[in-house]
Amino acid sequence: MEIFKYMEQYDYEQLVFCQDKESGLKAIIAIHDTTLGPALGGTRMWMYESEDAAIEDALRLARGMTYKNAAAGLNLGGGKAVIIGDPRKDKNEAMFRAFGRFIQGLNGRYITAEDVGTTVADMDIIYEETDYVTGISPAFGSSGNPSPVTAYGVYRGMKAAAKEAFGSDSLEGKVVAVQGVGNVAYNLCRHLHEEGTKLIVTDINKEAVQRVVEQFGATAVDPNDIYGVDCDIFAPCALGGIINDQTIPQLKAKVIAGAANNQLREARHGDIIHEMGIVYAPDYVINAGGVINVADELYGYNRERAMKKVEQIYNNIEKVIEIAKRDGIPTYQAADRLAEERIAKMRQSRSQFLQNGQHILSRRRTR
Ligand SMILES: NC(=O)c1ccc[n+]([C@@H]2O[C@H](COP(=O)([O-])OP(=O)(O)OC[C@H]3O[C@@H](n4cnc5c(N)ncnc54)[C@H](O)[C@@H]3O)[C@@H](O)[C@H]2O)c1
Ligand SMILES: CC(C)C[C@H](N)C(=O)O
């Protein structure tokens, strides 16, 4: 992999390799863009097939966080970390302590949190070494597991998308097909059930399916059948890349709104669903509840304030739909435009701020 070429293409700032022989830590921290503030993004632990695959994932996910944080209105840049290893077997306390020390070494340029394969308990260990970690236990006055909050944001965003497609944001009586009923989607199903939505669900984990069937009266289908079921809304909450050439022809939904990251296999799939008249709630806008919640820790966590910001995901989806209509583009492009415009404006105002003297004055003070 030609790393500098790749970094230059998408304008990455920094890539950090962290190795600790004793604990077995092999981690990569990617910082994409800190125009809006320090780079906040979770740490993923995964058994990568190769080092190149881990580097690519860290870089791709870090850039995703730049867009997610910018579109959510957070004063934070984008970054992400990956730890190479099996989260079921390879974790140990020393590993997360060592990782915490590496994060501390970046002096606040990167702030971590949970992602696939890492938990609140892991963040608590990192916190022993650095303040630059969020998603730590409520026992420390922090926000804990972000998944239920992500779910609430997805629920709010789904309502905004439904309003565009059906003329009303009520989900009562609507049929929602949910792919994957894990941490986020279990909570999403609860909100939908409380509103009187009919649920069709699938998961490769039978126990997870059983839970939502029993608790929320959901109808279960085979994982391969979820795309083609008769429904109003399709909520992908498991895997990335599931909007693709094979699945699109099966879809009957008028809305796609779910928690999964990187739902479009390729950008052109966003164009195809747009042409079909499907209202697509862009993944990184609708699933920003978790990061909005953990980001609130940086101000001294206040649950009420965080939930108010998460509610705004409704308005953010409305804003994206408005831009899409105004500019005659698909919603996935409108989301990128929203994020990029905000970063560009801040970059400009920040450079003016420096030119107008801040660094000159601070130099004077040290003389
Ligand atoms: N947890 C968060 O706060 C958060 C925030 C933003 C985005 N996301 C994204 O949302 C998605 C769900 O996150 P989560 O924390 O609920 O993860 P999770 O692992 O708890 O749940 C995912 C579920 O999908 C199921 N699944 C996997 N492959 C499947 C398949 N082929 N068909 C059907 N089901 C399948 C798994 O068995 C699991 O139950 C992920 O893509 C994640 O990256 C999560
Ligand atoms: C900071 C984390 C809560 C971010 C979350 N893992 C996401 O993909 O949005």
191-243 per-position pLDDT tens digit: 999 999 999 999 999 999 999 999 999 999 999 999 999 999 999 999 889 99
Task: Kindly identify the ligand whose nearest atom is closest to the C-alpha of 65.
Answer: 2
- Statement to judge: residues 203 and 325 lie in one domain: yes
- Is 215 inside a domain boundary? yes
- Is 264 inside a domain boundary? yes
ipTM rounded to 2 decimals: 0.98
- Statement to judge: residues 189 and 83 lie in one domain: no
What is the rounded distance in angstroms from the CA atom of residue 64 to the CA atom of residue 129? 27
- Is 216 inside a domain boundary? yes
At 20, which CATH number?
Answer: 3.40.50.10860
What is the rounded distance in angstroms from the CA atom of residue 32 to the CA atom of residue 30? 6
Pick left, alpha or beta for residue 235 (phi over 0 → left; psi -120 to 50 → alpha; otherwise beta): beta
Annotated active-site residue in 80, 198, 254, 319: 80
Cα 164 to ligand 1 centre (Å): 26
- Statement to judge: residues 263 and 157 lie in one domain: yes
Q: Is 285 annotated as a binding residue?
A: no
Q: Which atom, in ligand 1's list, is nearest to the CA of 146? A: 3
- Statement to judge: residues 81 and 189 lie in one domain: no
Q: What is the pTM of this model?
A: 0.93
Decide which of 98, 115, 136 is a domain's last residue.
Answer: 136
Provide the domain count of the chain.
2
Confidence of residue 348 (pLDDT cuts 50, 70, 90): confident
- Is 70 inside a domain boundary? no
What would the two tokens of residue 75 be? 């004063």
- Is 179 inside a domain boundary? yes
- Is 249 inside a domain boundary? yes
- Statement to judge: residues 128 and 158 lie in one domain: no
Confidence of residue 141 (pLDDT cuts 50, 70, 90): confident
- Statement to judge: residues 193 and 113 lie in one domain: no
pLDDT (0 to 100) of residue 360: 47
Cα 116 to ligand 2 centre (Å): 9
pLDDT in tens, 255-289: 999 999 999 999 999 999 999 999 999 999 999 99
pLDDT (0 to 100) of residue 61: 94
Decide which of 136, 171, 203 is a domain's last residue.
Answer: 136
- Statement to judge: residues 113 and 197 lie in one domain: no
Residue 306: pLDDT over 80: yes
Cα 2 to ligand 2 centre (Å): 27
163 is catalytic: no
Ligand 1 pocket at CB < 6 A = 116, 146-147, 150, 179-185, 202-205, 208, 223, 237-239, 259-261, 287, 290
Residue with CA nearest ligand 1 atom 28? 238
Q: Is 133 annotated as a binding residue?
A: no
pLDDT (0 to 100) of residue 352: 60
The owner of tokens 């190479």 is 84
Average pLDDT over residues 321-325: 97
Decide which of 88, 103, 136 is a domain's last residue.
Answer: 136
- Statement to judge: residues 257 and 167 lie in one domain: yes
φ, ψ for residue 233 (rounded to 5)? -135, 135
Q: Where are the beta strands (DSSP E) in 195-347?
A: 198-202, 219-220, 233-236, 255-256, 279-280
Task: Kindly identify the ligand whose nearest atom is closest to the C-alpha of 143.
Answer: 2
- Statement to judge: residues 177 and 203 lie in one domain: yes
- Statement to judge: residues 179 and 323 lie in one domain: yes
- Is 308 inside a domain boundary? no
- Statement to judge: residues 214 and 170 lie in one domain: yes
- Is 294 inside a domain boundary? no
Q: What is the largest CA-CA distance in the chain?
A: 72
Residue with CA nearest ligand 2 atom 8? 115
For Cα atoms 189, 185, 227, give the angle at the middle one, nearest 5 degrees.
Answer: 90
Q: Which domain holds residue 257?
A: 146-287+318-339
At 256, which CATH number?
Answer: 3.40.50.720
Task: Kindly identify the ligand whose nearest atom is closest to the C-alpha of 260.
Answer: 1
Residue 362: pLDDT over 80: no
- Statement to judge: residues 127 and 176 lie in one domain: no
